[in-house]
């Protein structure tokens, strides 16, 4: 029973952290487990650290990070606050 309660608490906390970011849009290109190399050009997000993901997301937003998909990603993250992006980054990667 304790494991079930802890799982529900963890799921609720993760859902709350992700509430600000539409992860469904991300999963379309990066896969449900974040390991898909989006459009054959991105990094394997699941192998990145939380800090690296946060840096990348905020860099896309600022226009200071990214390669060939920089413009596409800027459009995806520009509507979110840095705090939303930091919280979201904590829910994926290592």
pLDDT, one tens digit per residue, over 15-58 is: 444 457 878 889 899 999 999 999 899 999 999 999 999 999 99
41 φ, ψ (degrees, to nearest 5): -125, -15
Looking at per-residue pLDDT, the higher value among 2 and 29 belongs to: 29
Looking at per-residue pLDDT, the higher value among 53 and 4 belongs to: 53
pLDDT of 13 over the 50 cut: no
CATH number for the segment(s) 2-89 = 1.10.760
CB atoms within 10 A of CB 18: 17
Query: pTM of this prediction?
Result: 0.76
What single DSSP character describes residue 22? -
Angle between helices 50-62 and 82-89 in degrees, nearest 10? 150
């Amino acid at each position: 029973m304790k494991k079930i309660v802890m799982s529900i608490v963890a799921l609720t906390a993760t859902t709350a952290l992700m509430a600000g970011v539409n992860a469904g849009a991300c999963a379309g290109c990066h896969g449900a487990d974040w390991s898909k190399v989006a459009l054959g050009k991105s990094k394997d997000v699941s192998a990145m650290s939380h800090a690296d993901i946060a840096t990348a997301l905020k860099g896309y937003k600022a226009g200071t990070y990214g390669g060939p998909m920089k413009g596409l990603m800027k459009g995806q993250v520009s509507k979110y606050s840095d705090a939303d992006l930091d919280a979201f980054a904590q829910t994926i990667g290592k």
